[in-house]
Amino acid sequence: MRIKDEVVNANTIGISGHIRPDGDCVGACMALYQYLCKVYPEKRVDVFLEQPSEVFSCICGIEQIRTDFKTDVEKYDAFIALDTVKERMGEAEKLFDKAVKTINIDHHISNSGCGDVNYVDAGSSSTSELVYDVLTEEELDVEIAKAIYIGIIHDTGVMRYSNTSPKTLQIAAKLISFGFDFSELIEKTFYEKTYVQNLLLGRALLESIQFMDGKCIVSGLVKRTLEFYHADSKDLEGIVSQLNQTAGVECTIFMYQTGIQEYKVSLRSKGKVDVAKIAMFFGGGGHVRAAGCTMNGTFHDVVNNLSLHIEKQMKEAGLL
Ligand code: 5GP
Ligand code: MN
């Protein structure tokens, strides 16, 4: 796909990603937004997202993000959904549904393509990598390169996860040749945590429980803890991967309470358990090694329901 071929006849273009946008989602949306504004100054381009984490304020144009999800444009000529299926777009789903032409670019294995035109490749490290594919290299610049690079490092855990391919690294090499301070970007957007974020990480680690012979680990944070620290979902990123780094663990469950009997669940695996399959069973999605869903019930209900599926897969894989 060349994005220019897809939107050349559109006078108004909307872009959005998923609710609670992560680094890949923000990077991909902002890279494409900057690119389309640059290539087509005469077109109206709008980017809609829930307020991204403060760490992404280094991305050029981030203040242009529309969090109101209202639009004076009745109907976009083209609407691009990045890093998501339409059901996970929150308020932007309505704008997507109304658009004349819809385009979907994503790398989730659980997404079979929700646009009129789709560029979905589960083999890709990130949606940002796919955005790089659909742009023309001559029109890239340092600010677009930075946004794509942030997206790639976030979804690959700084080029560490198995979704990192030779192509991912070749693209990263081209991006850093634009000369931005990649080291600072990694430090400031990925590793650096606020004091409160570290306290919450500490609590989650301290209260974690290993079971299934130590092959599974679970931890969770209830609403009153989040309220005590004035924390939201943006303060919990990275906790699940830290838990999953525990030696001997094959599968990790981290959840935080979002309602009286409701939890947002993050799942991680070291590759032998397919957590996308489990998350999809409960109405969510993701990748083999990283997936998520929202579940109802008490903390223990959620653990029990997930454990049945994890145990089944572990037995099939000969781990139990
Ligand atoms: P995380 O655990 O970091 O929130 O998400 C891990 C992966 O699963 C990400 O690729 C994310 O997009 C996907 N994911 C998380 N929650 C959901 C969900 O509720 N629905 C879908 N379809 N995907 C999810
Ligand atoms: Mn992604």
User: Which pairing describes strands 216-221 and 209-211: parallel, antiparallel, or unpaired?
Assistant: antiparallel
Residues 212/320, Cβ–Cβ less than 8 Å: yes
pLDDT the model gives residue 232: 95
* pTM, entire model: 0.97
CATH 3.10.310.30 at 196-316, yes or no: yes
Q: Do domains 3-191 and 196-316 have the same CATH topology?
A: no
* The CA-based dihedral angle spanning residues 83, 84, 89, 93, taken in that order and rounded to the nearest 10 degrees: 110
Atom 10 (ligand 1) nearest CA: 286
Rounded Cα distance between 161 and 58, Å, is 24
Q: Which CA distances in Å does 154 have to 62, 66, 148, 149, 167?
A: 17, 22, 10, 9, 16
Taking each helix axis from N to C terminus, what angle separates 23-39 and 127-134, rounded to the nearest 10 degrees? 20
Ligand 1 atom closest to the CA of 83, numbered from 1: 12
Ligand number, closest to the Cα atom of 85: 1
Ligand 1 atom closest to the CA of 25, numbered from 1: 12
Calculate how far, in angstroms, residue 108's C-alpha sits from the geometric centre of ligand 1. Answer: 9
Ligand 1 atom closest to the CA of 276, numbered from 1: 8
Calculate how far, in angstroms, residue 23's C-alpha sits from the geometric centre of ligand 2. Answer: 8
Ligand number, closest to the Cα atom of 236: 1
CB atoms under 10 Å from CB of 315, counted, come to 10
Alpha-carbon radius of gyration of the chain: 20
Atom 20 (ligand 1) nearest CA: 284
Distance in angstroms between the alpha carbons of the first and the last residue of the chain? 44
Residue-range domain boundaries for the chain = 3-191, 196-316
CB atoms under 10 Å from CB of 270, counted, come to 15
pLDDT the model gives residue 74: 85
Mean pLDDT by 10 residues, the chain (320 residues): 98 98 98 98 98 98 96 93 97 97 97 97 98 97 98 98 97 98 98 98 98 98 98 97 98 98 98 98 97 98 98 97
Strand-pairing partners, residue 101, are 78
CB atoms under 10 Å from CB of 63, counted, come to 7
CATH superfamily of 3-191: inorganic pyrophosphatase (n-terminal core) (3.90.1640.10)
The residues, ordered by sequence, that sit 6+ positions from 66 with a Cβ below 8 Å of its Cβ are 46, 47, 48, 49
Q: Is 291 in the pocket of ligand 1 (CB under 6 A)?
A: yes
